Amino acid sequence: MIQGNLTSKVCARALVFFAAILCAQSISFGALAQTKSWPDKPVKLIVGFPPGGGSDAIARVIAINLSQMWGQQVIIDNRGGAAGTIAADLVAKSPADGYTLGLAHVNALSIIPALGQKMSYNASTDFTPIVLLGITPNILIANVDAPAKNVKDLVAYMKQNPGKLSFGSAGNGSTQHLAFELFMHMANTQALHIPYKGSGPVLVDLMAGHITYAFETMGAATPHIQSGKVIPLAQTRTKRSAAYPNLPTMEQLGYAGFEATAWYGLMGPASIDPKIVDKINTDVNTILRKPEIQSKLAEVGADDGGGSPASFAKFIAKDRNQWAKLVKDAKLQVDLN
């Protein structure tokens, strides 16, 4: 009788054990099948800026190529406003199935969190970084009649005339504005900051002489530099862009560690299946290696895209920490309204 009970218990445990294995295999095979079939419907890519700008241009290059690779349309959904935070919030609150992605941008994931602004999402935990698409330097540009045509003379002039020169930017809290604040802090100078609603009006007023200097994105500034309507003084990555091999960086001019860039990437809501993340990452890296894609991205000054999700996450954290340090050291208080 005892032996019979023992045999029954062993058999029962064995059945439970094998049932657990079969269940685990079923879940595993189901998840694998789902990943292999992904995507089996259109994918939405939310962009936090209107059509026609640099962010939209980069997103469309990637979307067109992914559509071709996947056999499913990647649809651009432009949700401009609030420096990209409206779009970021939509991404954060989307289902984590990979069918809603977002164009990650320096404003929403780095600068605005560093400024301590109240947001409806947590920039550190509510997203899945997937891949870096490119980094674009800003360029310090001047009106053709500006009193200083290089950075050394500009700093000397500002020290002699504190608060007299005017610098325009694409808006409070923009990467162009923070580049200006970083310059003022590192050079220990003063100038008047004039925020605009975007790069277009900045460049119009700069060329007209209503403002004297500006930090502007490479994509926006380049046509006017090429036409001779504005003068480039320096670029804001720690290495020179291939598009401007003869233009010195701020670091090369004595401002160690000066880095003030716009950057773009792909992100999704938190907790996307790692297999889907790896697929998107692998496919985008394949696209970024194509010479014709590199050429298109170079038109808006975007370099050094690609890499792993982990490297992109580290890049975002480092950039955010840099701006947070500037905000603290310079005691910045920025009104984004």
Domains of the chain plus CATH, in order, are: 43-136+261-329 (3.40.190.150), 137-235 (3.40.190.10)
Q: What is the pLDDT of residue 118?
A: 84
Q: What is the pLDDT of residue 13?
A: 53
Mean pLDDT of all residues in 222-241: 95
Under 8 Å between Cβ of 202 and 170: yes
Q: Which residue has the higher pLDDT, 52 or 76?
A: 76
pLDDT in tens, 172-228: 888 899 999 999 999 999 999 999 877 889 999 999 999 999 999 888 898 999 999
Q: Rounded to 10 degrees, what is the CA torsion of 102, 303, 132, 68?
A: 60
pLDDT in tens, 302-322: 889 999 999 999 999 999 999
Stated pTM of the model: 0.79
Do the bridges between strand 213-217 and strand 127-143 make them parallel or antiparallel, or are there none, so unpaired? antiparallel
Q: What is the pLDDT of residue 52?
A: 73
CA distance 335 to 337: 6
pLDDT category at 17 given cuts 50, 70, 90 is very low
